[in-house]
Structure 1
Amino acid sequence: MEPTTQRSPNRRIAVIGTGYVGLTTGACLCSLGHHVTCCDADRDKLAELRRGEVRIREPGLGELVRAGISAGRLGFTRSSVSAVRDADAVFLCLPTPMAADGGADLAAVAEVVREVRGHLPANGLLVTKSTVPVGTAARLAELVGRGDVAVVSNPEFLREGRAVQDFLAPDRIVVGAAADAAAQRVAELYAGVDAPVVRTDPATAEVVKYAANSFLATKLSYVNDLAELCERVGADVTGITTCLGHDHRIANSFLRPGPGWGGSCLPKDTAALLHTAEAVGVDLPLVRAAVETNRRQQRRAVDKVVAACGGRVAGVRLGLLGLAFKAGTDDLRDSPAVAVAGELARQGAELVAFDPALRGDERGLPAEVAVVDNPYQAVKGARAVVVLTEWPEFTDLDWSQVLDLAESPVVVDTRNAVDVAVLRRAGAVVHGVGRG
């Protein structure tokens, strides 16, 4: 393990895929001085990117894209073949969604590798940035079928809402390669980034991402279990997590209770780790329990809303604040807020929602949820106001006005996002998480 301090020559890099990981990877590598060509099959998205327009809600990403275009070091193409022909390294940043059996679906990765394998330069680097199951590097090496091309695992650890910061100031850079020379070449691409480089074999690097996310998921599920205990015994989970966070062995991240965890990584990565373990006859009871606790936490959030409305929500209007899986993003993938909204809709509730990141036409929104463009419109006439995402904008609302607009002063804060003292001064009947 060593820091990336020595400046290496600028390289030509191809990034296949301009989703959340791909565009961040391409723009950040460009900011380090490399010449980057990003490839995507979506013509409309490419046209927007060439104009410097970025769909992804991510602080600093649009600025990096526009700076790279202006400097002449960042380009976009639909042709993966043309992108890779003179590339010193090719980064695969393609979707690996959860398959029906819980494993990762590598169809998109395999398809691209088949397209480009005959066009990769001699002594090329094929780098998997996507989250892939153990053994993928070996399988891709067989698929490429060229001894002069090294397949290297370089997993991403990007948090939505902080992706640029996480790329340029990471906790670590993991490089998994069968040959030291290939690992060194990939590590050199990060020259100028002040972070330790962990060099290991491809299989270990592939497991690291799943291990990290499954650990974080377990930590969140543990806190949600504690929250339920606190409600039963009259304790305050916030005080407990504050004390836990002061313990350097635990630290204070991922200690906030809520309606469950979601997003693009934790659900599919825990499922993939369980699938991998099952395939080799290993049981991971802690991870299985974390997944089940998460499902139960979503049900508990629904039950809390139903109880606050007198035992049923059929025909009841509810004002929902937040639908994204967490603040700082417009991502609805496996959002616990959407899961809770969907179950409330199935029980017959009339749902009106506001989320500062959403327009209302996003894929993944339940059809039964009407999305409006301001929070006060969402709560008007609501039997209960339900906070489902911890947007800081919600703490700044005029809660007296919110409760005047609502039919009743009931607030179900599934994130403990709003200061309970503020809510009570406004006259709210507060139902939080983990408070007796």
Structure 2
Amino acid sequence: MKIAVVGTGYVGLVTGTCFAEVGIDVTCIDIDQRKIDNLCQGVLPIYEPGLEEMVTRNVDKGRLHFSTELAGAVQDCDVAFIAVGTPPGEDGSADLQYVLAVARGIGEHLSSYSVIVTKSTVPVGTAAKVRAEIEKALAKRGESIEFDVASNPEFLKEGAAIDDFLKPDRIVVGVSSERAEEVMTKLYKPFLLNGHPIIFMDIPSAEMTKYAANAMLATKISFMNDVANLCEIMGADVNMVRRGIGSDARIGTKFIYPGIGYGGSCFPKDVKALIRTAHENGYDMQVLRAVESVNDDQKSVLFNKVSKHFSGKLKGLKIALWGLSFKPKTDDMREAPSLVIIEKLLVAGCTVSAYDPVAMKEAEHLLGSSIAYAKDEFDALIDADALLVVTEWPEFRVPNFAVVSRLMKQKVIFDGRNIYDARELKELGFAYHCIGIQTTHPEPAFAAKARL
């Protein structure tokens, strides 16, 4: 098969590369000539574990190609994926201008039957708009070429995207014809050999499935953060609560870890878009509005703890940050809690020294010279009045606390991801604050037994 993937961002690049990995001829298209030149040289625009090696391997094998020429890629291709960005507009709705521009371009160059697939996260009804744009372009050419439009939402976790694509929990495809279903079944056959299910449905349901999935996961996160805040007030231990409810199979253990809010390219954007879609159709998504509100507030929780600990006297303090990306194993800082925390610290008169294993370049792009960029996690701690753990990178989990203690001016740690043991740090002489536990109060005598 021959496929085209328009857009070489996170979704498009992972999609194209993984299809090439199973032997399909793939051309990835982007209008950014510099990005394409870099990709041809093995320089990727994103960080994703294992992706660089896979890109290089498939380019060398002649299965993966990069180009700015849409015409050559679309002509005679079996499937064309639209995988460009759908950024939120000022009102929270998804901006479809790039998706529809690609659809017009495909209509201008389509030469034979093809399935045009929206891979971008798009609102219900987008496939119909894509079809209309292609038909309009074909009519302008005076051509009558058969094509189908399908919806194939992605469910990739940043940091584990390759495994998610090659070993999917499920593949969701929205189609409106048997012919399109046959083409998509053939395309995904290599991924079905190990029993991974493909679920065919109507196109509007497929479009809704993506938003509903992300909204549910965002809801679990905000719910647990709300519970964590109440636990802290009431003297309960959110870690115990999490274990207690996570053992219920109806709830499960995933996405119920308390923290400082979700970020990234999907959850914030998709929650906003679903709220907006409902509003435009006369319905109020009350639960999701609360989810969004809780998440916005949660991003300030760590700063509020810092302010309380230092009695509001933050001017002149040096604060060390461990972690800048919104989650580990990615350099993505879109909607990252670190950005909110840093902004509040700077406004309060603090100086900030930060370290992240892979997001330093992205941070410099976003923050410029407003903060200091450390060469490693320990460099960030030199003469710091407090350490804020913002992203739970593996290398932060078991640091040498003797070195931490020696480097810092004041032994104060604010753990936004609950990765340390409060009792251990107190014994080492640290003032320790985390999420959902009254760390300033003595633990009950039975607490150690409860951990077993």
The TM-score bracket by the shorter chain reads over 0.9
**Using the alignment, how far apart are the partners of 1:108 and 1:272 within structure 2?**
16
Q: Counterpart of 1:396?
A: 398
Deviation readout 1:193-223 (Å, 9 max, x if unpaired): 1311111111111111111111111100000
Cα distance in 1 for residues equivalent to 2:12 and 2:152: 13
Select which of 146, 151, 154 maps to 1:153: 151
Deviations 1:95-120 (A, max 9, x none): 11011110001111111222221211
Encode CA deviations 1:73-104: one digit per residue, 9 max, x unaligned. Answer: 11111111111112110011101101111000
From 411, 427, 432, give the equivalent of 2:434: 432
Amino acid at match of 2:392: E
Residue ranges of structure 2 left out of the alignment (5+ in a row) = 139-144, 439-452
Match of 1:344 in 2: 345
Change (3 A) 1:367 1:279: farther
CA–CA separation in structure 1 for the residues paired with 2:300 and 2:234:
20
Unaligned runs of 5+ in 1: 1-10
Contact 1:324 1:338 in 2 (8 A): no
Does 1:380 find its partner at 2:382?
A: yes
Q: Any idea what SS the aligned residue of 2:198 has? A: strand
The residue type equivalent to 2:248 in the other structure is D
Task: State the alpha-carbon separation in 2 of the partners of residues 305 and 284 from structure 1.
Answer: 34
* SS of residue paired to 1:430: strand
Q: Contact between 1:359 and 1:373, CA under 8 Å: does it hold in 2?
A: no
Residue 6 of structure 1: aligned partner: none
Alignment of 1:58-137 (within 5 A): 58-137=48-127
CA offset digits 1:330-388 (Å, max 9, x no partner): 10000012111112212221111111113345432365222211111211111111111
Distance in 1 (CA, whole Å) between partners of 2:207 and 2:368 is 34
SS in 2 for 1:69: helix
Give aligned-pair identity as a percent: 41
- 2:98 partner letter: A
Partner of 1:139: 129
Letter in 1 for 2:120: S
Deviation track 1:234-260 (CA, whole Å, cap 9, x = no partner) reads: 111111112222211111110111111
- Structure 1: distance between partners of 2:100 and 2:362: 32
1:3 corresponds in structure 2 to: none
- Please give the alpha-carbon distance, in whole angstroms, between the structure 2 residues aligned to 1:121 and 1:256: 51
* Length-normalised TM-score, structure 1: 0.95
- Superposition pairs of residues 238-257 of structure 1, within 5 angstroms: 238-257=239-258
Q: TM-score w.r.t. structure 2 length?
A: 0.91
Name the CA distance, whole Å, in 2 between partners of 1:41 and 1:298: 35
Kept in 2: contact 1:32–1:190 (CA 8 A): no
Moved more, 157-166 or 248-257: 248-257
The residue aligned with 2:370 is: 368
Q: Tell me how far apart the structure 2 counterparts of residues 422 and 392 of structure 1 sit (CA, whole Å).
A: 19
1:172 paired with 2:174, answer no
Q: Distance in 1 between matches of 2:353 and 2:15?
A: 37
> What letter matches 2:377 in structure 1?
P
Q: Distance between the aligned counterparts of 1:426 and 1:117, measured in 2?
A: 66
Distance 2:320 2:399 in 1: 14
Q: Following TM superposition, by how much is the alpha carbon of 1:424 offset from its aligned partner in structure 2, in angstroms?
A: 2.9
Structure-2 change in CA distance of 1:20 and 1:181 (3 Å)? same
Q: Pick which of 242-251 and 40-49 moved more.
A: 40-49
The alpha carbon displacement at 1:52 in A equals 2.6
Q: 1:286 to 1:367 in 2, by over 3 A?
A: farther
How many residues were matched structurally?
426
Equivalent position SS for 1:373: coil
How far the C-alpha of 1:422 sits from its partner, in A, is 4.1
Aligned letter for 1:150? D
